[in-house]
A and B are shown apart, each in its own frame.
Chain A
């Protein structure tokens, strides 16, 4: 079945960057789309953007342009999201998701 396994929790300092991974299995990664989402605990969900693994084409929520960069490695069926210039407002749970399946989420905490 479809599985999306995300990397572990991150504790990072303000101003730093972090790269999150989402390793997939159970479907044809190279011809699929992957979206990323942000959820502050207790709040609703925001769409960050999506990437098409076939050619690396991306689409971003304007709010996250310059903050998030999406990439893929088709050889390992893994999607990545780089978050840069982190502030406390970036502390949240981040999910990767295909149309029907979501990763387990990864908590990113930005603190000095």
Chain B
């Protein structure tokens, strides 16, 4: 199975600070058709995951543009440009290029 390694595991930030989360894959997520099925989700406490980014860099419906995704192959990054209070929770990357789909262990974003 593909292993996704997220760093850091915990991120402390102040409101307005910009932060980044890394997601590294044990193998390339580029498929034979040229697609990269890498997603980012936010799970707020007690809630189900919410899609933030799909296919590496595409913003999900209704997601604020302070969120952005980048990367290719095995290295991917989620950036939040100006953290807001509603952004607190656990961030997961997920790959759907190789079955079974797998998730990173998560990055908890908390207020400093």
Contact = CB atoms under 8 A, between A and B. Distances in A.
Contact of B61 (A46, A59, A100): A100
Interface string A96-108: 0101111111000
Contact of B48 (A35, A59, A105): A105
Interface string A80-103: 000000000000000101011111
Contacts of B102: 47
Please classify how large the interface on chain B is, using the bins under 10, 10 to 19, 20 to 34, 35 or more. Answer: 10 to 19
Given A44-B105, A44-B106, A45-B92, A102 B100 contact: no
A81 to B, nearest CB: 15
B49 A45 contact: yes
Given A44-B92, A45-B92, A102 B103 contact: no
B49 A103 contact: no
Contact of B54 (A44, A61, A99): A99
Given A100-B60, A100-B61, A45 B51 contact: no
Interface string B53-95: 0100000110000000000000000000000000000001010
A101 B61 CA distance: 10
Q: Would you call the interface of chain B mostly helix, strand, loop, or mixed?
A: loop
Contacts of B94: 45
Interface residues of A, number: 18
A95 B101 contact: no
B60 A61 contact: no
Contacts of A45: 49, 92, 94, 103
Given A95-B48, A99-B54, A44 B103 contact: yes
Contacts of A103: 48
Interface of A: 35, 44-47, 59, 61-63, 95, 97, 99-105
